[in-house]
Structure 1
């Protein structure tokens, strides 16, 4: 154990004791969990951020929104408002959070999107605001135990799986590994597919030590779409790039771009970073430093929703800004099995509620 980890060990123990006590209160029924008649599915993780929850929510929406009336409910991390809000065309990242705004922009014709810190209070408000809903997808609610979902999907990254991570502040876990036992589905995200058979076997065996018997384990990766101009859709992405991100881990994105482009510099901000005029000036100065290469700025969809502010974009008026879309891909056969399990949950819950 490194010295830094040794020094943090007592704090991790105290944090673990506090989260274990809270979970035990729910397990014993001393704290109550609320279930709802409408089917509810939680997508979450044991670690702090960076597991790809938003792309996975979008994956479910792309495959289910044509068959079901769906709603997405999240806390709206990073927003400047509080309480329940139903997204509409007047909403922006400041009102509903950048990830909720991204989902709303993509799926608003088919899906209702809402935010609310207290999910138990927000669910009935969502139903009252939207009318009939076939299922609600709850983003980042694995630790929100006041709500009892019908299906829990636990995400964990290939590069830092929960079974080899440690509790905060030693590691990135919000609660101990044994709480993976609440999961009904586990998805290992951000894999390079297909995984070698021995590696997949090792991950399955490591995860199975913590989950209930029979819980399915799936593997997913990321695919990147064609970059598009933030202001001019027909522009072509040039050879030289400045990468600007406000995400937990930009390394997979950098690896993808480096296949066909030269990334001159990476300007990595903190997750959910709210860009300021000073940030944009610094970005412009970085571009000026590499002026001889005539670079373009490239960012993520998550960052782009915050950069669309006209005041901010005016600082970059003479620079090409591109956005790289990302989507979840599933290992062979996993997609069909996972979606069948989700559809079965929705159908069974609706049948039970109507009976």
Structure 2
């Protein structure tokens, strides 16, 4: 795979040129961006997948849901439907896509909608439910919409500053576009990160004036199956098969090993819809452990199924600073 990526370097140069031209056309106004008279918060990244966007959306939903009419708008990647859809009680994971369905299931009082056309999606949300804050999931590259506040995510182990363009690297947008972010969150950090290492990362990012840099790690909670929590110790008494269909399962794998668990790992592509043969294989296993995103595609199909909840844990209580930033933004927009 690494060799193929190196061979594809000329293609990445063409890709980079197209990306820069597109952004330039938006910057000079040849391609139009639209603002809205409603607070819109965008969560995104410069690379492909695996930076922790869904846990960040859920964190923001938790922050806003009791004080604001909150809506989440996602593309609904790999969903088996088209156009604008709002999550309903009878909605399925195939209709909404795994990540929006996960959010819809966890926060049924929050409106979750999907539409690849974000402008249309925002207009439909305003017309149908009139939210007073919209969270745009994975929309950093969707420049047809100009959000009021943008949170850019980049991972500790693969900073966008050290990356290169697709297909040689993982970048899908230009590094300099990070200047459009109000806040940059370095995700998947070690739970204890020395200040000197933070300073090195900040020096690489080179934040512009008033741009905040935050650091977070992933926190995993006790596994859940059939709405029941199981301890790591009890889980360790079972023969575990870890099933993952996410971009980068390495942090979860490391966490499980640190809990002393022994398991086989069946790895699938991101957003993978499991086949009948794969489900039959899973049914033959004593215990299937999976991610929350995979769980919504597997629940109801297996009896021996557990998932590991994950959330962002901001280092040094930086979440309070971000919350204050968001409160200030909402007050300015009201």
Is the alpha carbon distance of 1:4 and 1:246 closer, same or farther for their aligned partners in structure 2, counting shifts above 3 Å? Answer: closer
Matches within 5 A, 1:67-216: 67-109=67-109, 111-131=110-130, 133-208=131-206, 211-216=207-212
Distance (Å, rounded) in 2 between the aligned partners of 1:5 and 1:104: 37
Instruction: Judge conservation of contact 2:38–2:132 (CA < 8 Å) in 1.
Output: yes
Separation in structure 2 between the aligned mates of residue 298 and residue 188 of structure 1, nearest angstrom: 27
Aligned to 1:217: 213
Aligned partners of 1:222 and 1:327 also within 8 Å = yes
C-alpha offsets along residues 288-316 of structure 1, whole Å, 9 cap, x if unaligned? Answer: xxxxxxx421111101111124xx32xxx
Does structure 2 conserve the Cα–Cα contact (< 8 Å) formed by 1:243 and 1:263? no
What is the CA distance between 1:3 and its match in structure 2? Answer: 5.9
User: What TM-score does the superposition give when structure 1 sets the normalisation length?
Assistant: 0.89
**CA deviation vs aligned residue, 1:189-216 (integer Å, no higher than 9, x gap):** 01112211221110011011xx422311
**For residue 262 of structure 2, what is the aligned residue in structure 1?**
263
Instruction: Please state whether the residue corresponding to 1:262 is helix, strand or coil.
Output: coil
Moved over 3 A (4+): 2-6, 234-237
Farther-moved stretch of structure 1 (113-122 vs 238-247): 238-247
Aligned residues of 2:299 and 2:305 also touching (Cα < 8 A): no
Report the secondary structure of 1:258's partner residue: helix
Per-residue deviation, residues 225-264 of structure 1 (Å, max 9, x unmatched): 11111x3626554214211110111111111111234332
- Distance in 2 (CA, whole Å) between partners of 1:234 and 1:345 is 37
**Partner of 1:23 in structure 2?**
23
Task: Name the SS of the counterpart of 2:311 in structure 1.
Answer: strand
Picking from 315, 321, 338, the partner of 2:322 is: 338
- Report the count of equivalent residues: 329
The question of whether the paired residues in 2 share the 8 Å contact of 1:134 and 1:346 is answered with no
Report the TM-score when normalising by structure 2: 0.94
**Corresponding residue number in structure 2 for 1:278:** 277
Name the SS for the 2:88 alignment partner.
Answer: coil
Unaligned ranges ≥5, structure 1: 288-294, 351-355
Tell me what 2:305 maps to: 321
Give the equivalent residue in structure 2 for 1:249.
Answer: 248
Distance in 2, Cα, partners of 1:66 & 1:45: 27
Change (3 A) 1:38 1:232: closer
Determine helix, strand or coil for the equivalent of 1:299. strand
Q: 1:204 to 1:235 in 2, by over 3 A?
A: closer
Report the CA distance between 1:63 and its aligned residue. 2.0
Query: Structure 1 residues 245 and 30 mapped into 2: Cα distance closer, same or farther (>3 Å)?
Result: same
How much has 1:66 moved relative to structure 2?
1.6
3-state SS in 2 of match to 1:101: helix
Aligned to 1:290: none
* C-alpha RMSD of matched pairs (Å): 1.6
SS in 2 for 1:114: strand
CA distance in 2, matches of 1:234, 1:166: 41
In the alignment, which of 295, 306, 330 is matched to residue 297 of structure 2?
306
Alpha-carbon spacing, 1:50–1:308, altered in 2? closer, same or farther (3 Å): same
Distance in 1 (CA, whole Å) between partners of 2:48 and 2:76 is 15
Alpha carbons of 1:234 and 1:220: their partners in 2 closer, same or farther (altered >3 Å)?
closer
SS of the residue corresponding to residue 152 of structure 2 reads strand
